[in-house]
A and B are shown apart, each in its own frame.
Chain A
Amino acid sequence: LCRLGDEELMRLVADMNPDAFEVVYDRHCTAAFSLAYRICASRPAADDVCQEAFLAMWRSAGGFDPRLGSLHSWVLSIVHNRAIDHIRRATRHTDRQVFDEQAAEQLPAPDRTDEAAVRSAEAHDTRLLLDRIPAEQRRVIELAFYSGYTHQEIARMLKLPLGTVKGRMKLGLSKLHTAMAGATP
């Protein structure tokens, strides 16, 4: 099973094969947990979000369509949605937690498997891409994507006109797209 590609594995998962699911989990759990932890800023919450997301993936495996994107993106989209839902529910009456980058670096690192090494290098490269866009664009993008704020909330928080926030989001993402295209060999 470990030698199968994601698409073939998902055919087996769609037929309720738990061994195939375990391979999919092992392959994508580090990226999924890392994203959930970045958003939730809490290890137990990130564990819960990951568990919920993979369970949802198991139950709706038939909905995965490889023509619409990779399994990696599909899994991370599910994790992202669940994590944002989690922080919106959890922080309805309190301020959202600010993610502590230094604390994240002190977390136990994933096993040094080949898969983990690839993910680590990928994370490093993509953080460099993110650093390339102007700070004011990066800020609104991070507040939206990792903290789950709407453009209206960000405009109020940063005391900026709504149009400016929307413009920075679109421009920043376009620059990320261009930077990514340039970085792809």
Chain B
Amino acid sequence: MNGCTEPRYRELLGAHALGACPPNEAAGLAEHLRHCRVCAQELAKVSSGRDVLFTAVHPAAPSPATKHALMQQIRAEATLFEAARPRDAKPAPSRAATWRAKRQAGRRWALGPALALASVLAVAAIGGVLAGRALNGSEAAKVVAAQVDERLAPDARASVELDGDGERLVVAGLPPAGRDRVYQVWLRSEREAPRPTDALFSPGPGGSAAIELPADVRDADELLLTSEPAAGSKLPTREPVLTATL
């Protein structure tokens, strides 16, 4: 097959399909593939050969406990999402709508501002305040669903829980804070600058964490979460990943 002027990239196609290229080479090849149809076609071919490897393994069953734990978490997240949908307003833009929007890949960037607005609306829907009844049914509890910035944490969900046992920020699907960085919780009252807290953390598997908050969160109007250097900061250095109006 002729037409490719960069043989050093062509010889990498097999390794690339197998995920065996170091990051710098993979990035160079990805750039090359944007312009070289010959290599793109050949990559499609070797990738379909690679797909054989997905299933060329001895069948084995996962433990039932895996499904049990997974479904518990899935149902909890679905309940939180469902509870955060506005009840009296017209139905919130759903993830299905987002899915359909993503399918229009060719129009995605052309519709940038409109989709950005749709994103904000979706975030606002998730960010509804659930007061008076926590998920466990305790009447004294208050759960506030946070508004997540989808650009910074597209898969994240978070809520602030205030009940008789204390104050917590519960997050899931949060991306890593970055190299040598942690997430830091900030509190804001009225129009003051955000004040730092000692609540610093790195999310665990699945981007999840349950962080104890200082008691004065009950007096604050807003909670913010930002990525900061490992020792924390005195002023936020990055945009908030999420905010919760308390």
Interface residues of A (CB under 8 A from B): 10-12, 14-18, 21-22, 25, 29-35, 37-38, 43, 46-48, 50-52, 54-56, 58-65, 67, 73, 76-77, 80-81, 84, 101, 104-105, 107-111, 116, 119-120, 122-123, 126-127, 129-130, 141-142, 144-146, 148-152, 154, 163, 165-180
Contact = CB atoms under 8 A, between A and B. Distances in A.
Nearest to A110: B61
B53 interface: yes
B164 to A, nearest CB: 29
B12 interface: yes
Given A33-B60, A43-B63, A174 B46 contact: yes
B11 A163 contact: yes
Interface string B131-165: 00000000000000000000000110100000000
Contacts of A166: 11-12, 14-15
Interface of B: 11-15, 17-22, 45-63, 65-67, 69-71, 73-75, 77-78, 81-82, 94-96, 98-99, 102-103, 105, 154-155, 157, 172-173, 205-206
A22 B11 CA distance: 42
A73 B62 contact: no
Q: Which of B61, B63, B73 has the most C-beta atoms of chain A within 10 angstroms of its own C-beta? A: B61
A30 to B, nearest CB: 6
15 contacts: A11-B99, A18-B78, A33-B66, A51-B69, A62-B96, A62-B98, A77-B54, A80-B54, A127-B56, A130-B56, A167-B11, A169-B18, A172-B14, A175-B49, A180-B52
B55 A170 contact: no
Contact of B49 (A73, A76, A173): A173
A170 B46 contact: yes
A173 B12 contact: no
Contacts of B46: 170, 173-174, 177
Nearest to B58: A104
Given A61-B95, A110-B59, A150-B22, A173 B50 contact: yes
- List of 10 A-B pairs having minimum Cβ-Cβ separation, nearest first: A170-B14, A169-B14, A176-B49, A177-B49, A173-B49, A144-B20, A33-B62, A173-B46, A110-B61, A62-B99
Contacts of A43: 63
Nearest to A70: B51
Q: Which of B58, B66, B172, B205 has the most C-beta atoms of chain A within 10 angstroms of its own C-beta? A: B58
Given A73-B54, A176-B52, 7 more contacts: A11-B99, A35-B55, A38-B57, A150-B21, A150-B22, A173-B46, A177-B45
Nearest to B172: A59
Contact of A119 (B48, B55, B99): B55
Given A18-B74, A18-B78, A150-B21, A46 B55 contact: no
A73 B74 contact: no
Q: Which of A15, A84, A168, A179 has the most C-beta atoms of chain B within 10 angstroms of its own C-beta? A: A15
A50 B18 contact: no
